[in-house]
Amino acid sequence: MFKFIVKSFLLLFFLAVVTCPLLFLLGVIDKSPAVGKPPELSFDQVRRMEQLIRRYKPDSMTVRAFRQVKISEQDLNLMAAYGAFQLIDQFAIFPRIRLSDPFINISTTVQIPQTPLGEYINTACVIEIENASPRLHSISVGFFTLPGPLITSALSCLGQALLVQDNYKLVLQSLDALESVAIRRQQLSFTYDWNPDVLNRLREIRKTMLISPEDQDRLIVYSNALAKLSRIFKEHGIKKISVIRVTRPLFQLASDQSNVSKDPVGENRALLQAISLFCLGRRPDRFVTEERAAKLIPPEHIDLTLYGREDLVKHFFVSAGIAVSGGSKLSNFAGLVKEVGDSDGGSGFSFADLAADKAGVRLAELATGSAQKASAIQQKMAAVKTEDQFMPRIDHLPEGIMALQFKKRYADFDSKAYTLIEDEITQRINACLVYQF
């Protein structure tokens, strides 16, 4: 009898282990998406996103203040859809937001590799506005629905378990900064207490949690190497110089460092991040702990150029820096937003700048794609003799195009006229010696 009970228990346990994940998969994976793929990005939509980013960018807020934000359902969906679709490399994610007082309904479809059960995971999150405060009502994944209070309790326990007490309190403090939320006429409005001190403390947490000590040390190595080079140039009275004079020794240093670390991808990532920050005139203090920041050598100001132009260097290496940090989609999208913004009262849309953006992304992709390609890029970039070996020619690429001119000449990003120039840029990048394998 005892043996029968043990065997029965083991059988039930085995069935539970096998069938529970199967039942979960059956309930989670769908054959059809709840949210469809958004249409191709248009010029007007990019311009609208650039306006929204500029409007709500908090960098200028250096003192504590209350701020109110009002954003329509249409703009929320624009930012959510293209934020997910353009900025996330690993998965295809399609979100949709619906405002229906007092609820915010967020539906999301994640496209996964094809399986016999389907290729989509559909989720739904419902947030309820109660007494001007948001409250998680429920979260659904496929056929499964979990009540908000249960999820909130679980997240609270998880936060206390994973974060040290001071950090957990700081996270709660930042969440409490949201003063009031309301939905009126398909428009979401909320007021929050902008506290730069809390934000700075959160950034310190991010440094230790998201950027490994090893990566911080690497960033310091290449930032200091750049600073030393800038001082040498300054001592010789050089104020402006081709970026080759910087990239050659830095990539040689990366090759030497890789022989020790056995991680050429990590070395290249830190190198491109360091050059990106240098081009922007920013120190890497915000990415390393205060203790490590004390080791940084202050650089001298020198102007780096590509084809004699300082703007092309910034486009190239800032795009490369964004690509190795946040992905190629994010970098390409950021470059496009910048050009569309320039067409709206700035210096104008520039295909030359766009060529530099795309070339920087190509370098980043190869430099961090695999250990083999990373090592090859180090050797190639350490040996370049001319700028056109890694930066495509920009002759006959239209520049200074204002918004109305762009719409008249190219209509949109999917037009034949625009695609022809984009294809020409791609061909020129492919012809660069460094990118040929």
pLDDT at residue 37, rounded to an integer: 81
pLDDT at residue 200, rounded to an integer: 61
Task: Answer yes or no: is pLDDT of 416 > 90.
Answer: yes
pLDDT at residue 355, rounded to an integer: 96
Residues 240-252 have a mean pLDDT of 96
Residues 326-347 have a mean pLDDT of 72
pLDDT at residue 210, rounded to an integer: 53
Determine which of 23-37, 251-265, 366-380 has the lowest per-residue pLDDT on average. 23-37
For residue range 248-292, what is the model confidence (pLDDT) as tens digits?
A: 999 999 999 999 999 999 999 999 999 999 998 888 887 888 888
Q: Which has the higher per-residue pLDDT, 265 or 47?
A: 265
pLDDT at residue 7, rounded to an integer: 46
For residue range 381-409, what is the model confidence (pLDDT) as tens digits?
A: 999 999 999 999 999 999 999 988 998 89
- Which residue from 332, 206, 325, 238 is spatially nearest to 277, judged by alpha carbons? 325
Residues 143-150 have a mean pLDDT of 84
Report the C-alpha gap between 296 and 313 in whole angstroms.
23
Task: Answer yes or no: is pLDDT of 202 > 60.
Answer: no
